[in-house]
């Protein structure tokens, strides 16, 4: 179909990138559709969590387990990583220089890994307080939802490493560009999911402790 009007939503490459811009169209649209499917996956797991809130079976409850400070740090880490990925995308679109792009991607990767580290620490401290998934339906649902997001972030980090190696080997060619664009979508999508987790899981969970 014709080029100009049917652009995918998001940060397009633009005519400066010639053929790469055209190649992006079907692929990026496909990735948007894939994420719709992934969003349903998260939707189901959110629904399981919300309908399992009272299924604590005499085990520890949210307010005893969640640590708002630590999850706020995670939020900051992940949101900053989205910002740095945005900078990487802009570097790719407007400055056809690899160095800046790679630098921003590396910062993003470090933030992502830090997020995973803090999250794992969180899980460990929950487990120390008896908050393990085998304890109750509520905890099963928690450990389905939050680690599923964490697993997505880990997959994103692995993908980013693979892309960085590709950049080192082939430079910023079509396929690497398209890979970075898709990873960017994925990364921002995980941000949105995290905002959902923070507002639906952690904030209400800790509110009860106050109230």
Interface pick for another protein out of 4, 169, 171, 210 (rule CB under 8 A):
169
Which CB, 31 or 104, lies closer to another protein?
Answer: 31
13 within 8 A of 177, measured Cβ to Cβ: yes
Q: Between 137-170 and 174-197, two packed helices, what is the crossing angle to 10 degrees?
A: 160
Which CB, 1 or 210, lies closer to another protein?
Answer: 1
Regarding 25 and contact with another protein (CB under 8 A), the answer is yes
Instruction: For residue 178, report the phi and psi dihedrals to the nearest 5 degrees.
Output: -65, -35
Q: How far is the CB of 59 from another protein (least distance, A)?
A: 8
Which CB, 165 or 195, lies closer to another protein?
Answer: 165
Interface pick for another protein out of 14, 30, 117, 130 (rule CB under 8 A):
30
Which CB, 51 or 199, lies closer to another protein?
Answer: 51
Tokens linked to 208? 């009860």
Footprint (CB under 8 A) of another protein, residues 40-79: 40-41, 43-45, 48, 51-52, 55-57, 59
DSSP 35-94: HHHHHHHHHHHHHHHHHTTT--TTS--HHHH--HHHHHHHHHHHHHHHHHHHHHHHHHHH
DSSP 137-149: HHHHHHHHHHHHH
Footprint (CB under 8 A) of another protein, residues 85-114: none
Tokens linked to 204? 């209400």
- The footprint of another protein (CB under 8 A) covers 1, 6, 25-26, 29-30, 33-34, 36-38, 40-41, 43-45, 48, 51-52, 55-57, 59, 133-141, 143-144, 158, 162-163, 165-166, 169-170, 173, 175, 179
């Amino acid at each position: 179909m014709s080029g100009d009007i049917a652009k995918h939503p998001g940060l397009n490459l633009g005519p400066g990138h010639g053929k790469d811009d055209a190649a992006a169209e079907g692929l990026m649209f496909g990735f948007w559709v894939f994420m719709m499917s992934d969003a349903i996956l998260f939707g189901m797991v959110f629904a399981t969590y919300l309908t399992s809130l009272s299924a604590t079976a005499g085990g520890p409850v949210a307010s005893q387990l969640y640590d708002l400070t630590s999850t706020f740090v995670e939020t900051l880490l992940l949101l900053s990583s989205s910002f740095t990925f945005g900078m990487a995308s802009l570097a790719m679109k407007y400055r056809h220089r690899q160095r800046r792009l790679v630098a921003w991607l590396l910062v993003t990767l470090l933030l992502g890994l830090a997020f995973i580290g803090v999250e794992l620490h969180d899980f460990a401290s929950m487990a120390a307080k008896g908050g393990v998934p085998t304890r109750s339906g509520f905890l099963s649902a928690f450990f389905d939802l939050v680690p599923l997001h964490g697993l997505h972030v880990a997959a994103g980090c692995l993908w980013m490493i693979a892309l960085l190696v590709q950049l080192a080997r082939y430079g910023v060619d079509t396929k690497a560009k398209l890979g970075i664009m898709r990873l960017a979508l994925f990364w921002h999508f995980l941000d949105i999911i995290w905002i959902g987790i923070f507002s639906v899981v952690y904030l209400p969970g800790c509110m009860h402790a106050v109230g």
